[in-house]
Amino acid sequence: MSPSPETTTLDIEGMSCAACASAVEKSLARTPGVESALVNFATEKATVQYRPDQATPAALKAAVENAGYGVVERAPDTSAADRQAEIDAQKAAAYRQLKRRFGVAAGLAAVVMVLSMLMLWPAAMMRINMSALNWVLLLLTLPVLLFSGREFYVSAWNGFLHRAANMDTLIAVGTGAAFIYSLAATVAPGFFLSRGLRPEVYYDTTATIIALILLGKVLELRAKTQTSAAMRSLIGLQAKTARVVRPDGQEVDVDINQVRLGDIVLVRPGEKIATDGLITEGRSALDEAMLTGESLPVEKQAGDAVFGATLNKTGSFRFRVTKVGADTLLAQIVRLVEDAQGSRAPIQRLADKVSAVFVPTVVVIAILTFVLWFDLAPAGTRLPLALVNFVAVLIIACPCALGLATPTAIMVSTGKGAEHGVLIRNAEALEKAYQVNTVLLDKTGTITLGEPAVTDFWAAPGQRPETLLALAAAVERQSEHPLAAAVVRYAEAQHAPSQPAVDFKAVEGRGATATVAGQAVLIGNAGLLAAAHISLPESLEAEAARLLAQAKTVLYVAVAGQAAGLISVADTVRETSRAAIQRLQNMGLEVVMMTGDNPETAAQVAAQVGITRYFAEVLPADKAAHVQALQAEGRVVAMVGDGINDAPALARADVGLAMGGGTDVAMETAGITLMRADLQGVVTAIELSRQTIRTIRQNLFFAFVYNTLGIPIAAGALYPVFGILLSPMLAAGAMALSSVSVLTNSLRLRGFRAH
């Protein structure tokens, strides 16, 4: 008997029309095991009835994705935090255990070392029974092997079974060989003596190598924890509780996982915002630095979006929850950073190829070293020399330095980027940003605010500016036109008194009229005044001509049948744009602007921010073609856009930077997302990429040079000429230091500061 069907609801994303809904429905219905599927286009939900023995939620998700849409993961999902917590706990335990193992190894190695050195002192040599001393050394070394070094042998053996060789293989074979030789010399010295060999022991070598390598691991683990510190602090930003206002007005503190969409949450001064939502009442200034890198508090009021993990500064307000769990901006940032840290940089390819064959190759070199020394050295010393150099080769080789070179730098820098509101999608984007020599800026929304703002307000002689502005704002408050919104914002910023308006009438394509304080007020273009037979005084006409020449939009205001003033509106340049563009130019990058505006306006904006090359009258559809044209000139192009209608251009560019953050589309198409609407982020992103790639190059250079020099020296390459042989203990020290050096170098990126 098959189990009864189950019903589930999926949140579908990406549906833009009713036809999409039916496509999703069909795809779901065709999935084996699905009994019925109903997709509601308005609520963006699919209700599916399916047989759990034939279909799974993952299969349903796949069906939706096959149809070309996405399934929003059902919130709440705190798995990232949970997993991180569990791994952190295990790592902390492993770290304590590692320190214990190191402590035992270091203590015993010190004793073994001192006792072994006694043998170099002739007076002691006479009195001490060598054979007895060897037994004592054996007993002291055993715990180092079996307790401190156990993991090396277990791991090497497990790896061997999988035909895989890792760093532990090298350590296990190296120390194992030295130990077994010593063991034989201790147990059966007669065998050695009978062949004319002194039964020498290498317990000090064995114990010291293990102690030094464990020291390296302790340092490495400590440094590695710091590479993901930024990530951990991001996850830690998540609020634990929220104060939900129940429909009956009761305020309850609830666990963050219990917060549901549509809940009203109360936020008091100094509190952390629990999750994403829209303010319903109240106003405040919020510190959003943790998400956007913006250091100044952001003013918010009813209708504005707030984001989980940001901090409320001054006022208190209520907001309606619009996103929870995995859908929140914070969760998206965490996921993006996590993904970026898992990506592979093209620069790493060579290191990857080398590390894949590294360990077995080193083992082969070590064997050949042994054979050569055995064959070439004088008979009396050939076995100890062959052994010592065999061990030194195995121990000095450090695949870790190669393996750590790139990922650690990427981890630190993606974390650092997130701290500055620069989200790097993957290592490849970071590497591309390093190669960029041309930055193409889409004017609207990047250089400029992307929304009209009042630039000039001019009252005709005889008019009181405050009164006039209040009258104009009263009319515009009723209007839905974007220009009207700019006027209202301006009036509010000037603290103009708010007045009621009656008989509001919007005149299509011209403006609006209303009666305010008993007077007829008109606001709109020249055509609106002409239609009302209102003539323009000369002074006003001259002022309008001046503003129009600056490529601004001019609104005429008339009160009681008389032209009374002008308001000009334009998309204004961000305050920081000029400085940021200059910095980019100082970094040796050519900055090019692209805009849909006419050449005059384009020239003006370009001059204002110090750009010499620009494309004007670019249709949205042609943006990508302009990127391509620049690339055809042999340039590596970074395209900066607001992510709204320039997705193809962002994708076409060598690296796309979407500004303004927050929109899912932008985060998906851009290689780098700038959370803060500010060109300074472009500077930060490129500087960060330059520092990161430089660090990676240093690391890789060091790792390659270390191994290519270290291995031959350990094999005795310097012996024929200089008579230098490398003690395996020195080799162990070098090896421990090499991976720590690479890590420390990567950690230097934590000191990155944005200008």
Partner 1 sequence: MTDRLTPFSLISMDASAITVTLFGLALAGFVVWYFFFSSRPVASAMSSSGGVQEVDITVKGGYSPDVIEVERGKPVRLNFYRDEENSCSEELLMPDFNIRRGLPAFKTTGIDLLPQQPGRFEFTCGMGMLRGSLLVK
Q: Which of residues 359-418 bind partner 1 (CB under 8 A)?
A: 359-360, 363-364, 367-368, 370-371, 374-376, 378-380, 382, 386, 399-400, 402-404, 407
Does residue 65 touch partner 1 according to CB under 8 A?
yes
**Over 44-95, what HEC string results?**
CEEEEEECCCCCCHHHHHHHHHHCCCEEECCCCCCHHHHHHHHHHHHHHHHH
Of the pair 343, 550, the CB lying nearest partner 1 is at 343
Total residues belonging to the chain: 755
* b/e sequence 39-71, b meaning 16+ C-beta within 10 Å: bebeebebebebeeeebeeeebeebbeebebbb
Does residue 338 touch partner 1 according to CB under 8 A?
yes
CB of 395 to partner 1, least distance (A): 16
Residue in 27, 31, 691, 692 binding partner 1, rule: CB under 8 A: 31
Subset of 637-676 contacting partner 1 (CB under 8 A): none
Of the pair 200, 678, the CB lying nearest partner 1 is at 200
Residue in 18, 30, 43, 83 binding partner 1, rule: CB under 8 A: 83
Of the pair 355, 680, the CB lying nearest partner 1 is at 355
171, 148 Cβ separation under 8 angstroms: no
Subset of 90-149 contacting partner 1 (CB under 8 A): 90-91, 94
Q: Which residues are annotated as catalytic?
A: 442
Residue in 166, 186, 312, 448 binding partner 1, rule: CB under 8 A: 166
> What φ, ψ does residue 456 adopt, rounded to 5°?
-140, 145
Of the pair 152, 490, the CB lying nearest partner 1 is at 152
Beta carbons within 8 Å of 563's beta carbon, 6+ residues apart: 460, 529, 534, 535, 536, 537, 540, 556, 557
Residue written as token pair 């998906």: 668
280, 264 Cβ separation under 8 angstroms: yes
Residue in 39, 106, 138, 168 binding partner 1, rule: CB under 8 A: 168
Ramachandran sector of residue 36 (left: φ over 0; alpha: ψ -120 to 50; beta: rest): beta
Of 510, 502, 454, 452, the C-alpha closest to 478 is 502
CB of 380 to partner 1, least distance (A): 7
The one segment of 234-242, 280-288, 354-362, 489-497 that binds partner 1 by CB under 8 A: 354-362
Of 476, 480, 479, the C-alpha closest to 457 is 476
Cα distance between residue 602 and residue 348, in whole Å: 42
Of the pair 77, 456, the CB lying nearest partner 1 is at 77
Q: Identity (one letter) of the amino acid at 494?
A: Q
The one segment of 48-56, 112-120, 253-261, 485-493 that binds partner 1 by CB under 8 A: 48-56
Does residue 426 touch partner 1 according to CB under 8 A?
yes
CB of 234 to partner 1, least distance (A): 15
Residue in 339, 503, 600, 617 binding partner 1, rule: CB under 8 A: 339
The one segment of 83-91, 293-301, 465-473, 543-551 that binds partner 1 by CB under 8 A: 83-91
* DSSP helix/strand/coil, 296: coil
Please measure the distance between the N-terminal and C-terminal CA atoms of the chain and give it in whole angstroms: 68
User: Residue 38, CB half-sphere, CA atoms under 13 Å: how many?
Assistant: 8
- State the pairing for strand pair 655-659/637-641: parallel
Beta carbons within 8 Å of 506's beta carbon, 6+ residues apart: 479, 480, 481, 512
CB of 65 to partner 1, least distance (A): 7
Does residue 181 touch partner 1 according to CB under 8 A?
no
Does residue 341 touch partner 1 according to CB under 8 A?
yes
Does residue 160 touch partner 1 according to CB under 8 A?
yes
Residue in 1, 58, 132, 721 binding partner 1, rule: CB under 8 A: 58
Of the pair 94, 665, the CB lying nearest partner 1 is at 94
Residue in 206, 284, 355, 444 binding partner 1, rule: CB under 8 A: 355
Using CA of residue 305, residue 307, residue 308, residue 314, what is the dihedral sign?
Answer: negative
Of the pair 292, 369, the CB lying nearest partner 1 is at 369
User: What does DSSP assign to residue 534?
Assistant: P
Of the pair 167, 639, the CB lying nearest partner 1 is at 167
Of 313, 436, 364, the C-alpha closest to 682 is 436
CB of 94 to partner 1, least distance (A): 6
Does residue 154 touch partner 1 according to CB under 8 A?
yes
Of the pair 31, 310, the CB lying nearest partner 1 is at 31
Of 12, 698, 32, 622, the C-alpha closest to 405 is 698
Residues in the interface with partner 1 (CB under 8 A) total 75
Give the tokens for residue 670. 């851009």
Does residue 162 touch partner 1 according to CB under 8 A?
yes
Of the pair 363, 514, the CB lying nearest partner 1 is at 363
Interface mask (CB under 8 A) for partner 1, residues 186-225, using x and -?
---------xx--------------------x---x----
CB of 369 to partner 1, least distance (A): 9
* Burial of residue 411, with CB atoms counted within 10 A of its CB: 0-12 exposed, 13-18 middle, 19 or more buried: buried
Q: Is the peptide bond before 76 cis (omega within 30 degrees of 0)?
A: yes
Residue in 9, 18, 53, 620 binding partner 1, rule: CB under 8 A: 53
Torsion, Cα of 78, 83, 86, 87 (10° steps): -150
Residue in 47, 343, 478, 494 binding partner 1, rule: CB under 8 A: 343
CB of 16 to partner 1, least distance (A): 22
